[in-house]
A and B are shown apart, each in its own frame.
Chain A
């Protein structure tokens, strides 16, 4: 009996993840054909993961809110590029400059997101084609801004940025001159720990003071108990203290990159702890009957993954990987933020709007407003994502950096197994890994198979477009089928 359930669950798992599994097989085949070394491959993959994940995650909210794949994310990227340009003109430097760019990008992206959301409300059902066209339409104004307004209408005297005539911005803007190249990637862990500790401390103290002033009860446990803050604060405080008294730890924190195997170990330990906690909770606190399938499966997976890292080839590969700590923390943070947001009231409203607009209206949700908020959030996150991309590259291609981001981000999300109406953090992260693995391997595999890197390049572009085409077709097909079923029953 239990064996039958297990088979069913496994089958369901394979069916659920068919796209991702198919791409895993393609990537594995391409990897063995290419003969690429693990150290090179893992290093490149880690760089691309850190660079692109934020952008892909920015696509999730509109999918959940029923707006489909946000092809209008290009506008967020434009907001990012406008603000980076302005920051360079104003002389912002280094990490401060990057954060300043994010600050300047915020109002611009919110405005763009509002306008796009407003427009999408007038073309419900054709948001995706509308988003595509909006991207190109906005690109016209973007080019006008950078080719004519900057330098032409607003005089900007900066030889590093402007063309020789003084009108229009150069094709490539170098971020290195303002020390903004990899300025986020290069923040040492020590600084991150400092900021995190003081921020959490101030937040905790403020919460306590607020509760005292409002005369609310200060309870330790429960849904709004202080324990939740202390669970974060105490380890941070211990680490902060340790960084002062234990010098090897201090020197370790001076680094801004983690070696790959160390990061993998930390992630695996984290995962193992979480699933052990879930196991204990389900089995001993909630006392559910039977074997808890999910925690056990994940714990087995963790053990398998750990054993895999002991393989000499993979270990050598991981040894060459340098993970930029702050960028990865931002990505992980965004994952948790999105998960948290979807459980808030607004997030739940978005889910309802995404599932059925009529039901949402009947439930008293302002559908148009919710959709606009979803677009604003997505555009804003896309802007931050593009800032992460640009600081990692170190060069901004003024008229090109934003053009293909929607294509690659959307293709990556779909490769992870998302659809036009269903997407999660898991889809986004798996998708980034698989899609970019293919991106790295296809030209090399093409060289090995056909004697030319170009064929691999054409192949990967074809895959990017085709996966989007197939996803759109599947979505529309299912919709017409369910419409037919509905009209048949009615």
Chain B
């Protein structure tokens, strides 16, 4: 405990300056993160290995969280309905697995990495195309419900997830890895991507950093590179003419309209990019996870992603790429470290990480909502 006390003042001094636009909840969350790090070190856990896990999950969730940025910037607020795009991405992944099964990628089977990358690429192409179409429709819908986008997007997302439950159940596919074993009907709840594109980005240029004999940190280079490229693209987009116009349409629609910007079109553009990034993000997520979960699995994902970008410093009306980098790292860091730590410290309460997740994610969203008064 002495260590955490020594840490606290310096941290608070830094925090004090940015308190006004940073907010108490974020400071609490950051302190929690640092406290968890210190506690896991004190408890003699393998901190570098944990840190490697945090890096992996950072890249895994990063693109999905990045999908929040165009949504917030174009004025629809945190896009809880990113599940629409995620569902599109899942459709792409499922079709890619089916295409691999019927032998469409066999011409490249001699090179496993290229084979996997092709599968991922096809999944992304299909997923992003489907998500783009759905995103345009979804954006047009959100233009009709200005002022209530958040509640609408939550339930539109839920509806799409539940509509696709029926699609997963009825879709006539043949790949045995996708289907329920004998006796069942429809696609499986969860299937392995081992024979497809599982881990293909993570393993690309992956290396280990050793700290002493037993402590080592795994760096998933390919995953992080893809994540950073997406971040840079998004950052360049926000600096471009089109991106500036979109931001203007989101932050001050009246002014934007007066200066000749088509606000409705800009909102559709932002929503579509957000939805398409959701599709891309879930495929990157799935290849890192190694499995694909269908049916109700993506239902609650929107909340986790919104919380991540808010923790990074975004608000309902303003978001930067930096918020994504910081927020995803914080949230995933806490969730990754808390699980093994609580197993060591409080083995009687195995559900504590889940409780932590509920309180942190929903707490930060509530805080942001109450700050957005009059918006």
Contact = CB atoms under 8 A, between A and B. Distances in A.
Given A458-B169, A472-B152, A148 B352 contact: yes
Interface string A447-459: 0001110110011
B151 A477 contact: no
B348 A462 contact: no
B352 A477 contact: no
B293 interface: no
Interface in B323-353: 348-349, 351-352
Interface stretch (B6-14, B30-38, B68-76, B160-168): B160-168
A101 interface: no
Contact of A137 (B166, B185, B351, B366): B366
Contacts of B170: 450, 455
B363 to A, nearest CB: 6
Interface stretch (B104-112, B139-147, B235-243): B139-147
A459 B166 contact: yes
B145 A473 contact: yes
A462 B349 contact: no
Contacts of B370: 119, 122-123, 130
Contacts of A119: 366, 370
A462 B163 contact: yes
Nearest to A484: B146
Given A472-B148, A476-B145, A167 B369 contact: no
A139 B158 contact: no
B369 to A, nearest CB: 5
B203 interface: no
Contact of A123 (B152, B358, B373): B373
Interface string B196-228: 000000000000000000000000000000000
Contact of B349 (A125, A132, A152, A476): A152
Given A123-B372, A126-B369, A168-B349, A473 B152 contact: yes
Contacts of A136: 303, 358, 361-362
Contacts of A195: none
B358 A140 contact: yes
B365 interface: yes
Contacts of B80: 129
A141 interface: yes
A468 interface: yes
B154 interface: yes
A88 interface: no
A475 interface: yes
Interface in A128-151: 128-130, 132-134, 136-137, 139-141, 143-144, 147-148
Interface in B121-169: 141, 144-148, 150-152, 154-156, 158-159, 161-163, 165-166, 169
Given A469-B156, A472-B145, A133 B354 contact: no
A480 interface: yes
Contact of B147 (A132, A148, A476): A476
A123 B159 contact: no
A466 interface: yes
Given A133-B362, A477-B145, A126 B163 contact: no
A216 interface: no
A232 interface: no
A140 to B, nearest CB: 3
A197 B328 CA distance: 64
A165 interface: yes
Given A136-B362, A144-B355, A168 B348 contact: yes
A122 B186 CA distance: 46
Interface residues of A, number: 45
Nearest to B150: A129
Contact of B366 (A125, A128, A133, A466): A133
A473 B141 contact: yes
A168 B348 CA distance: 8
Contacts of B155: 465, 468-469, 472
Contact of B351 (A132, A147, A466): A147
A469 B159 contact: yes
A132 B348 contact: no
Nearest to B165: A458
Contacts of B169: 452, 454-455, 458
Given A461-B162, A469-B158, A148 B369 contact: no
Given A123-B372, A123-B373, A455-B170, A479 B148 contact: yes
A124 interface: yes
A151 to B, nearest CB: 9
Interface string B74-92: 0000001000000000000
A480 B348 contact: no
Contact of A455 (B162, B163, B166): B166
B185 A476 contact: no
A147 B165 contact: no
A144 to B, nearest CB: 5
Contacts of B358: 136-137, 139-140, 143
A407 to B, nearest CB: 9
Contacts of A167: 348-349
Contacts of A139: 358
Nearest to B351: A147
B185 A452 contact: yes
A454 to B, nearest CB: 6
A137 B369 contact: no
B24 interface: no
Nearest to A68: B151
B349 A461 contact: no
B114 interface: no
B42 interface: no
B19 interface: no
B360 to A, nearest CB: 8
A119 B349 CA distance: 30
Nearest to B80: A129
Contacts of B165: 458, 461-462
A87 to B, nearest CB: 24
Contacts of B372: 123, 126
Nearest to B163: A462
Nearest to A146: B351
B166 A143 contact: no
B359 interface: yes
Contacts of A140: 355-359, 362-363
B144 to A, nearest CB: 5
A122 B80 CA distance: 21
A455 B167 CA distance: 10
B147 A141 contact: no
25 contacts: A122-B373, A123-B369, A123-B370, A124-B373, A130-B370, A133-B366, A134-B362, A136-B303, A137-B366, A140-B355, A140-B359, A452-B169, A454-B186, A455-B166, A458-B162, A458-B166, A465-B161, A469-B158, A469-B159, A473-B145, A475-B148, A476-B144, A476-B146, A476-B148, A480-B147
Interface of B: 80, 141, 144-148, 150-152, 154-156, 158-159, 161-163, 165-166, 169-170, 185-186, 303, 348-349, 351-352, 354-359, 361-363, 365-366, 369-370, 372-373
Closest 10 CB pairs of A and B: A140-B358, A476-B145, A137-B362, A140-B359, A476-B148, A469-B155, A462-B162, A458-B165, A167-B348, A129-B150
